[in-house]
């Protein structure tokens, strides 16, 4: 019998089942209580893989790969919109690009699934599987600059294990989701022991929500978040851009607020080429009304032998020099071109798709209020909200205490898809991890205000043009996760894997 011969796997049924479960998981986590649904489906995934008791190394890898391919192909299909509908790439090539990315991401799932091949039969197998998944997810977030989108953690914001995030971060949520889903899949074998593990983990995690590590600071901040709802296809149309400039400038100067924020690249021209007097007019408004303004612009990198652009947040405050934050963690192919891939980017015609990186240790934006305490805000631009460990490190090592998170985003690239809700959950998880409220200013949605627990306090409907006017209470203090980042959960996972490896060698 060939080493590829397995029940169902030989004719592809097993692979198809896992591909389907992966796609089903990607879709159903978007529903309310998606974190609970996630655990149920993962239990089915582990049960299905466990049926192949004699699976070879290659077959185990294929099982995990099939599950991951279904999960990411369905969860990341919106990339097709940016490549085909906005970028003008051929439809077949766009589909191929989505499946190639899904396949690359699925490799990490497949590697974690190999735990079934090496450690099957261990009493602590569920912990080893969870540890493998944590390490794989961590590596997915750093290799080739990382792409940790669609991790299990953000779904847990609407699941049972969210309260652990302020202590040990999103990776700890992933650990618990994988471990408990495995225990559920094994209930039939040892109902009392497995049931005790499941109930204890959920109860203890819920009790963790009783602890808070940050507290309110001073009086609430009045804010206005401007949502322009401009189509991405008009971004490089000069006449359309003039209308976009006019809308944002009028919206900014229509009334004062402690803080006014536009979305990412609301002014999609290089800062030095903006219409004469535009920035001066907004600066005068800031000074005259004691309003702090954050603009999304295209910055120009200094100290370079060639003209390099940056994705920039430009801050204007009363009677102060301007502040700037240049995006540090760039999107592969969208904001920087990896070596050897210029041919791919040339297939879709998007100017300025190779930006310069900002520094990792940029200072927060100080929001000045006359006669009141200064508020310091950590800024992220779009995709940077995915990297919880980086944000926690920035806050921990900040030159000023951070009281507020601000995310400026333009998801018009992805049309009417689940991308905005996926990123909203990421922002919610970042607030929960850091114990800080957040402001999200977006072009097409979801513009929202989040509390320090990540819950939505106010929001604008998607694909509408408007201004979200509200007040937000800022906070002071730090969560344990801000202090130690991912070190504890990574340390535990690596220790479990080392012990599992030692045990396997002795068998």
Q: Which residues are identified as catalytic?
A: 264, 327, 382
Residue 457, exposed/middle/buried by CB under 10 A (0-12, 13-18, 19+)?
A: middle
Residue 370, exposed/middle/buried by CB under 10 A (0-12, 13-18, 19+)?
A: exposed
- 268-297 burial: b if 16+ Cβ within 10 Å, else e: bbbbeebeeebbeebbebbeeebbbbbbbb
Q: How far apart are CA 472 and CA 468, in angstroms?
A: 12
Residues 286, 293 contacting (CB under 8 angstroms): yes
Residues 365, 323 contacting (CB under 8 angstroms): yes
Q: In degrees rounded to 5, what are phi and psi of residue 78?
A: -65, -15
Q: How far apart are CA 161 and CA 159, in angstroms?
A: 6
Six token digits for residue 15: 């692979």
Residues 432, 165 contacting (CB under 8 angstroms): yes
Please give the C-alpha separations between residue 442 and each of 227, 412, 430, in angstroms, as whole numbers: 6, 9, 17
3-state secondary structure of 310: strand
The closest alpha carbon to 230, from 281, 267, 274, belongs to 267
Tally of CA atoms within 13 A in the half-sphere of 238 that contains its CB: 3
The closest alpha carbon to 268, from 328, 304, 314, 303, belongs to 314
3-state secondary structure of 283: helix
**Residue ranges of the alpha helices (H) in 350-486?**
388-396, 419-434, 480-484
Q: Which residue has the tokens 């004691």?
A: 290
What does the DSSP assignment read for 62-130? Answer: HHHHHHHHHHHHHHTTTHHIIIIIIT---HHHHHHHHHHHHHHHHHHHHHHHTHHHHHTT-TTHHHHHH
3-state secondary structure of 365: strand
Residues 477, 495 contacting (CB under 8 angstroms): no
């Amino acid at each position: 019998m060939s080493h590829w011969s397995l029940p169902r796997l030989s004719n592809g049924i097993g692979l198809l089942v896992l591909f389907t479960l992966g796609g089903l998981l990607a879709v159903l986590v978007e529903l309310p209580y998606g974190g609970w649904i996630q655990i149920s489906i993962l239990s089915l995934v582990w049960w299905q893989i466990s049926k192949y008791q004699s699976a070879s190394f290659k077959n185990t890898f294929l099982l995990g790969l099939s599950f991951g391919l279904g999960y990411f192909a369905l969860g990341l299909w919106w990339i097709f919109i940016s490549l085909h509908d906005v970028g003008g790439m051929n439809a077949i090539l766009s589909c191929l690009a989505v499946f190639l990315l899904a396949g690359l991401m699925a490799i990490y799932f497949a590697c974690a699934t190999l735990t079934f091949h090496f450690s099957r039969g261990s009493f602590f197998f569920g912990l080893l599987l969870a540890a493998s998944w944590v390490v794989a997810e961590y590596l997915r977030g750093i290799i080739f600059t990382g792409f940790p989108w669609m991790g299990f953690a953000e779904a847990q914001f609407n699941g049972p294990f969210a309260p652990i995030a302020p202590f040990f971060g999103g990776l700890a949520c992933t650990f618990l989701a994988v471990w408990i889903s495995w225990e559920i899949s094994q209930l039939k074998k040892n109902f009392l022991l497995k049931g005790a593990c499941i109930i204890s983990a959920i109860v203890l995690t819920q009790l963790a929500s009783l602890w808070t590590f940050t507290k309110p600071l001073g009086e609430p901040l009045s804010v206005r978040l401007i949502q322009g709802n401009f189509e991405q296809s008009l971004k490089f149309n000069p006449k359309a851009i003039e209308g976009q400039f006019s809308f944002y400038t009028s919206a900014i100067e229509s009334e004062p607020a402690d803080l006014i924020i536009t979305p990412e690249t609301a002014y999609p021209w290089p800062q030095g080429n903006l219409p004469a007097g535009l920035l001066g007019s907004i600066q005068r408004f800031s000074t005259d009304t004691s309003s702090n303004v954050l603009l999304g612009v295209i910055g120009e990198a200094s100290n370079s032998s060639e003209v390099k652009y940056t994705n920039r947040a430009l801050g204007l405050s009363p009677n102060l020099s301007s502040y700037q934050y240049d995006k540090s963690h760039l999107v592969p192919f969208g904001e920087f071109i990896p070596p050897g891939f210029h041919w791919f980017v040339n297939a879709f015609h998007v100017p300025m798709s190779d930006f310069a990186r900002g520094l990792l240790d940029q200072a927060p934006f100080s929001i000045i209020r006359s006669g009141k305490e200064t508020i310091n805000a950590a800024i992220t631009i779009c995709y940077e909200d995915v990297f919880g460990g980086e944000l926690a490190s920035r806050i921990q090592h900040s030159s000023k205490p951070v009281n507020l998170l601000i995310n400026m985003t333009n998801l018009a690239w992805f049309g009417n898809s689940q991308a905005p809700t996926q990123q909203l959950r990421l922002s919610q998880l970042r607030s929960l991890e850091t114990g800080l409220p957040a402001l999200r200013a977006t072009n097409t949605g979801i513009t929202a205000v989040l509390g320090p627990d990540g819950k939505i306090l106010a929001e604008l409907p998607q694909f509408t043009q408007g201004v979200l006017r509200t007040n937000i209470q800022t906070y002071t203090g730090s969560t344990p996760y801000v202090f130690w980042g991912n070190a504890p959960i990574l340390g535990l996972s690596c220790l479990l894997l080392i012990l599992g490896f030692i045990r396997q060698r002795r068998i």
